[in-house]
Amino acid sequence: MSVKKEPSGRRSIRLEVEVPGTPEQVWQAIATGPGISCWFVPAEFDVRDGKPVALKLTFGPGMESTSAVTEWNPPHQWATRSDGWIPGSPPIANEWSVESRAGGTCIVRIVQSLFASTDDWDNQLEGAEHGWPGFLRTLRLYLTHFRGQRSATMKWMAPFAGTEAQAWETLTAAMGLQGVGVGERWTAPAGVPVAAGVVDHFTRDPYDALLRLDKPGPGIAALGVFSMAGRSMVAVGFYLYGDQADANVARETPRWDAWFQARFPMPTEAGTSG
């Protein structure tokens, strides 16, 4: 990993992605609540006197993060600062910037940093550096095919009793993705809720895939396997777009919930039988 360390104690990572759109269009995607919700997690800005002062991100039930907005310069740059991710860790700062390029594209850049006198917290930045690229690829896919559309999401995550490689093998086999190349058409096999589209991205290092969907509606499916607290985790998420997004999510959530729970059940409590 590439954590940059400065004499001041600042430690940071820097990531960027080239996306289609004008700075104003890209700004809508990375600096508004509805825009961020289209490719990351549900987001909401607290706006006072016409200016955002805080950002709330919801990663799951009971998993909310609130950051103070420390800089706001649309459509070019904004920044936040929040408490560390675990008790006792140093505050985290995020700086977002949009840089226009020729040909109708922009560079979106994020610098995530913290201040510490030791290496004890570097693993937090390393974990973020591992996770951000998948979301930035989703941002690029959203801006390429679904820019400006309303969205609704459904997501699942569960531990897997095995290695990350075994979890990825299990997930991709169940989804009918094995042997399907990037750019090729994919249709979910029997036993999986109706889904079809094109494979946009597929890697095994890290374990990550993006599918551009036309069924169950226009959208993106994001699949991943990663390690958390020493356990393999399987994650499946859908971003559905358009005027029917809410209705499609309401209809499909019970179907995918049953499918995911059947194949990746949450472990039973210690001392009980399954």
Least confident of 47-56, 84-93, 102-111, 148-157: 84-93
CA 165 – CA 171 distance, rounded (Å): 10
Q: Provide the pLDDT for residue 271.
A: 37
Span 25-48, mean pLDDT? 97
- Same CATH topology for 4-145 and 151-263: the answer is yes
Smallest CA-to-CA distance from 3 within 137, 109, 127 is with 127
- 151-263 folds as Alpha-D-Glucose-1,6-Bisphosphate; Chain A, domain 4 (3.30.530)
Q: Residue 39 burial (CB < 10 Å; 0-12/13-18/19+)?
A: buried
Span 152-180, mean pLDDT? 96
Question: With 90 as the cut, is the pLDDT of residue 114 above it?
Answer: no
Dump pLDDT digits (tens) for 189-247. Answer: 999 999 999 999 999 988 999 999 999 999 999 999 998 888 999 999 999 999 999 99
Beta bridge partners of 220: 212, 239
Identify which has the larger pLDDT, 149 or 273.
149
* Structural domain spans, the chain: 4-145, 151-263
Q: Provide the pLDDT for residue 76.
A: 97
Q: Provide the pLDDT for residue 91.
A: 86
Question: With 90 as the cut, is the pLDDT of residue 129 above it?
Answer: no
CA 249 – CA 39 distance, rounded (Å): 15
- Domain at 4-145: CATH code: 3.30.530.20
Angle CA 198–127–262, to nearest 5: 50
Question: With 70 as the cut, is the pLDDT of residue 23 above it?
Answer: yes
Identify which has the larger pLDDT, 126 or 109.
109
